[in-house]
Structure 1
């Protein structure tokens, strides 16, 4: 459980923003989304290769 200490006189919107940022950093939401739907290892590997190819094309285009 995340605990966000609220300073005296602090705006609630600012505290909520800090909470959201801290929640995103923990990766809880991403973990839940990954566990929600199973992806086969072959498909995950293919997606990883496609991402690597995309990044490589960006780097090649940048070097020109």
Structure 2
């Protein structure tokens, strides 16, 4: 459970902004979207390899 301490007189919009930021950092929504469909381990591995190649190309282009 996410707890956001609110100081007296603090704006409610600021507290909501803090809550949204903490909620995003937990990654709950991202995990729920991933769990909607089953992906085979071989496909996960393939996607990880594609991402690694992409990052490597970016790093080489940067140098």
Which TM bucket (shorter chain)?
Answer: 0.7 to 0.9
TM-score, normalized by length of structure 2? 0.87
Segments of structure 1 that go 5 or more residues without pairing to the other structure are: none
User: What is the number of equivalent residue pairs in this alignment?
Assistant: 63
SS of corresponding position for 2:23: helix
CA root-mean-square deviation: 1.1
Segments of structure 2 that go 5 or more residues without pairing to the other structure are: none
Runs of 4+ in 1 over 6 A off after TM superposition: none
TM-score, normalized by length of structure 1? 0.86
What residue is the counterpart of 1:51 in the other structure? 51
